[in-house]
Amino acid sequence: MRKISKKILSDLEFPDVLERIKLLTLTSMGKSNVDLIEPYANRKAAIEELKRVDEILQSFESENLLPKHYFETIDADLEMLEVEDSFLNPDGYNRLRNVSETCVDVLKFISKFSLQFPNLHYRVQNTEINPAVHNKIDHILNRYGEVDDKASSNLRSIRRSLLKVRGTIGDSFTKALARYNSMGVLDDIKESVLENRRVLAVQAMYRKKVKGSVV
């Protein structure tokens, strides 16, 4: 098939169609890929792609709805992983996990319903279904997206030590609060929070008599 000239594409309002598609994309990568869309120069390839599109549309009208297939942009996360001595925050791991899980879910779905979606299945049949990435991340992060105690034995030990220290600090503060309250040196509010720490609310005239951070 002869390549279509830019003049003909413009007359057919093809650029306008691409702009409408951009409005439906959710990521910057999606918008960039829309700019790369060109008409198929091969009739057979175009028909095969239309068949796949038709199967996707059919899934929305049948009981076998295609699983969610939104993909977050993970380019920055992947680049960070390649930097020596760098680290990825929990949000980054969650993005990687979601992409991995989404890929596996879609591939399993298409494989399961290969008879209903033969053209989609033909396109992905040689793609490996590998849940190792999100399974590994699930071992590190809990369902709230936070690093779990079970991520490592060292982390578990450190957190237990921190809890013990916080408990000791809390007990000491409670005793100090009771002591200075009985002495009548505290303000009406008794205590406050300064830089994420509990502090005693001491009356101005008694502040020199109380050790530590006060307000």
The DSSP secondary structure of 150-180, one letter per residue, reads: GG-HHHHHHHHHHHHHHHHHHHHHHHHHHHH
**Burial of 57 from C-beta contacts in 10 A (0-12 / 13-18 / 19+):** exposed
Same domain, 49 and 130: yes
Q: Is the pTM of this model over 0.85?
A: no
Name the domain boundary from 151, 168, 195: 151
pLDDT at 86: 84
Domain coverage including residue 181? 157-209
Inter-residue contact 215 to 194 (CB < 8 Å): yes
In a domain, 8, yes or no: no
Same domain, 57 and 84: yes
List per-block mean pLDDT (blocks of 10 residues) for the chain, which spans 215 residues: 80 92 88 90 90 93 88 88 85 91 95 95 93 89 80 83 88 88 85 84 80 65
Q: With the CA atoms of 152, 153, 159 and 163 taken in that order, what torsion angle do they form, in degrees rounded to the nearest 10?
A: 150
pLDDT at 131: 93
